[in-house]
Amino acid sequence: MKLKSIFSNSFGILLSRITGLIRNTLMATALGASVYSDMFFVAFKLANIFRRIFAEGAFTQAFMPSFVEAKHKGVFATAIFIRFMLIIILMSLWVTLFPEIITKLLAWDWSPELIAETAPLTAINFWYLDLIFIVTFIGTLLQYREHFITTAMSTALLNLSMIAALLLYMHQDPKVIVYALSFSAVIGGVLQVITHLISMRHYKLHKLMIGGWKHRHTREITAEKKKFSKLFLPSMWGNSAPQIASYLDTFLASFLVTGSISYLFYANLLFQLPLGMIAIATASALFPSISKALNRNDETAAYQNLGKAFWLLLFLLTLSTLGGILFAEPLVWLLFEYGAFTPQMSHDTAWVLIMYMVGLLPYGLAKLFSMFLYASHRHTKAAKIATIALVVNIIFSLSLMHSMGSMGLALAGSIGGWTLCILTIKEIGFDRFVTILKSKMSLYFIVSMPILALLFFYINQLLVLWIRG
């Protein structure tokens, strides 16, 4: 396990998450949990959903194993890039021409007037997808060279662009603010593309693409493209499942009290911080090396890396879960309770965060183990598992939303996370999982966690007394 790659990736994600928190603290100050914040989150969410399905999720997981095996890497990469870029541009044009239809799908219960106001924002934000696909494509090539920090840190450029827009326009009319945020998202995407092009040139990957373009009609890659397509479709569906769940959260929250969409958004931001810094950083850093190890039939090295990463995630994610649950109220108060964001909004957001944090550990471990499934070309199995977890999520969302509101939607997501984790471990093999658990690290974990939980509890009591005082 390459700790340097994990920590550099984690540092980049940390920087991106910190700037994201600053961005959203300013957003909470300017908009609170209002109809305008809901408008922007709905408009921006669509681009994010497709970004995670086509770009950061399905594409990387299908492309990396195929690229590792490809004999004509440049030709293969060029052919795949052209195909996907054309599809995404056509999608963006369709959303630009018919934004009200797609906005209605995200917020079904909204009035026609509110849909009409949000639709232009949806059209603007969707163009971010085109830019982030270019970023993800180049980032995947950089991952193959085991360079992670450019991609990990690049999201900070998006956040900085949006922070600049908020600082310039936060005292303007809320409608002006949400338009400024939408245009700044596209500007941030352009900045991300530029940084990746610079890194691409530094690692001389542009020569790979130029060579691929010159020889793009090579017949030998036909089989490789077909194999990639077979991997991509189940990978797309597997990555669609959590995004469909995210869409359903937004859809169902639109039937709840005003601000529910925003509570979910702000709480999910805090949930994503440890998930990104720890689980996604670790899985992303290990994905190329495990893909290469499995490609050369070295299962021993692949499983050794998996075991070491498991213990790293178990300790760090458990600590994060304890901290997120016990410090939920102080965290939300510290980060968001300014300007238009009231104490009641903090209270409601904190409880949603607690429900999300219940699922942090299983989602993090599922990210690690599902990465192993994708590296070993078991994309169809991963997709089936994700579908079952999605169904469980939907059932509990519909069951809990009426009694618990937005908290119920967050808790349903956590229950889906536990389902995803258990089924993914089952596919890896419970015998292999038990082998990982048979380690002296188990004793360290059992002894240390209750002590740390008690320490966190007393610190939280002091913080709550300070806040209320």
Which structural domain range is residue 392 located in? 3-468
Q: Answer whether residue 449 shows pLDDT above 60.
A: yes
Evaluate whether 62 touches 228 at the Cβ level (below 8 Å). yes
Query: How would DSSP label each residue in 379-408?
Result: HHHHHHHHHHHHHHHHHHHHHHHHHHTHHH
What percent of the chain is modeled with pLDDT above 90?
A: 23
Mean pLDDT for the chain overall:
83
Evaluate whether 414 touches 356 at the Cβ level (below 8 Å). yes
Average pLDDT of span 11-20: 82
Instruction: Please state the domain count of the chain.
Output: 1
Q: Which of 28, 78, 444 is nearest to 263 (CA)?
A: 28
Instruction: Provide the 8-state DSSP code for 219.
Output: G
pLDDT band, residue 222 (cuts 50/70/90):
low
Q: What is the pTM of this model?
A: 0.73
Among 139-148, 198-207, 410-419, name the most confident range.
410-419
- Which residues lie below 8 Å from residue 284, measured CB to CB, with a gap of 6+? 9, 143, 148, 152
What pLDDT was estimated at residue 425?
92
What pLDDT was estimated at residue 417?
92
Evaluate whether 120 touches 99 at the Cβ level (below 8 Å). yes
More confident residue, 67 or 211: 67
pLDDT band, residue 112 (cuts 50/70/90):
confident
Average pLDDT of span 103-130: 86
> Residue 206's CB: how many other CB atoms inside 10 A?
14
Please write the tens of the pLDDT for every residue from 48-93: 776 666 655 667 777 877 787 777 788 888 888 888 899 889 989 9
Please write the tens of the pLDDT for every residue from 305-352: 788 888 888 888 988 898 888 888 888 888 777 777 778 888 888 999
Q: Which of 63, 68, 79, 182 is nearest to 125 (CA)?
A: 182
Dist. CA 189–CA 224, nearest whole Å: 30
Average pLDDT of span 222-232: 70
Please write the tens of the pLDDT for every residue from 247-284: 788 788 878 877 788 888 888 888 888 887 788 778 77
What pLDDT was estimated at residue 217?
57
pLDDT band, residue 193 (cuts 50/70/90):
very high
C-alpha angle with apex 383: 381 to 384, nearest 5 degrees? 65
Q: Which of 367, 55, 390 is nearest to 232 (CA)?
A: 55
What pLDDT was estimated at residue 220?
59
- Which residues lie below 8 Å from residue 269, measured CB to CB, with a gap of 6+? 20, 21, 24
